[in-house]
Amino acid sequence: MSIYSFFPSGGEMYWGLLVALYFFYTGLSAGIMLITSLGGVFHLNGLERIGKVGAAMALSLLAVAPVHLILDLEKPWKFITLFGHFQFLSAMSWGAYILILYALALVFYTYYLFKDNKVNARKFGIAAFILALAVEGYTGFLMGNIQAHALWNTPLMPVIFLFSGLASGTALFILGYSLVEKLRNAPQADRYAGIALLSNWLKWFVLVDGALMVIYFIILWYGHADQYAAGYYLLHQDSLSFVWLENVVGLLIPFLILIYRPLASRLSAQILASLLLVFGTLVMRINLVIGGQKLPLFGDRLVNYTLTSGDVGIAVVLALVAVVLMVVLIKALAFEPKKIISSQGKEVVS
What residues make contact with another protein under the rule CB under 8 A?
A: 1-7, 9, 11, 14-15, 69, 72-75, 78-79, 81-82, 84-85, 87, 89-93, 95-96, 142, 145-149, 224-226, 228-229, 232-233, 236-237, 293, 295-302
In the complex, minimum distance from the CB of residue 279 to another protein, in angstroms, rounded to a whole number: 26
**Secondary element (H or E) of residue 348:** strand 347-349
With H, G, I as helix, E, B as strand and everything else as coil, classify residue 263: helix
Smaller CB separation from another protein, 1 or 341:
1
Judged by beta carbon, residue 192 or residue 228, the one nearer another protein is 228
Taking the least distance from each CB to another protein, the nearer of 148 and 248 is: 148
Diameter of the chain measured on Cα atoms: 94
Q: Shortest approach of another protein to residue 163 CB, angstroms?
A: 23
Cα 36–181–278 angle (5° rounding)? 55
Q: How far is Cα 350 from Cα 345, in angstroms, rounded to an integer?
A: 15
Nearer to another protein, 86 or 260 (CB): 86
What's the min distance (Å) between Cβ of 271 and another protein? 37
**CB–CB of 313/48 below 8 Å?**
no
Beta carbon of residue 26, minimum distance to another protein (angstroms, whole number) = 15
Q: How far is the CB of 83 from another protein (least distance, A)?
A: 9
Closest CA to 5 of 302, 303, 299, 304: 299
| 298 or 347: CB nearest another protein | 298
CA–CA separation, 228 and 267 (whole Å):
41
110-138 b/e (C-beta count within 10 Å ≥ 16 → b)? bbbbbeeeeeebbbbbebbbebbbbbbbb
Give min distance, CB of 55 to another protein, in A: 28
Amino acid at 306: T
Q: How far is the CB of 115 from another protein (least distance, A)?
A: 36
Q: Please compute, for residue 165, the number of CA atoms within 13 A of its CA located in the half-sphere on the CB side.
A: 32
User: Integer distance in angstroms from the first to the last C-alpha of the chain?
Assistant: 79
Q: Which is nearer to another protein, 80 or 349 (CB)?
A: 80
Query: Which of the 8 DSSP states describes residue 78?
Result: G
Q: Select 127 or 142, whichever has its Cβ closest to another protein.
A: 142
CB 30 within 8 A of CB 172: no
The CA–CA distances, whole Å, from 156 to 136, 145, 214 equal 12, 11, 11
- Which residue, 15 or 204, has its beta carbon nearer to another protein? 15
Nearest approach in angstroms of CB 235 to another protein is: 10
The minimum distance between CB 140 and another protein, in angstroms, equals 15
Q: How far apart are alpha carbons 240 and 247 in whole angstroms?
A: 10
Which residue, 86 or 335, is less far from another protein as judged by CB? 86
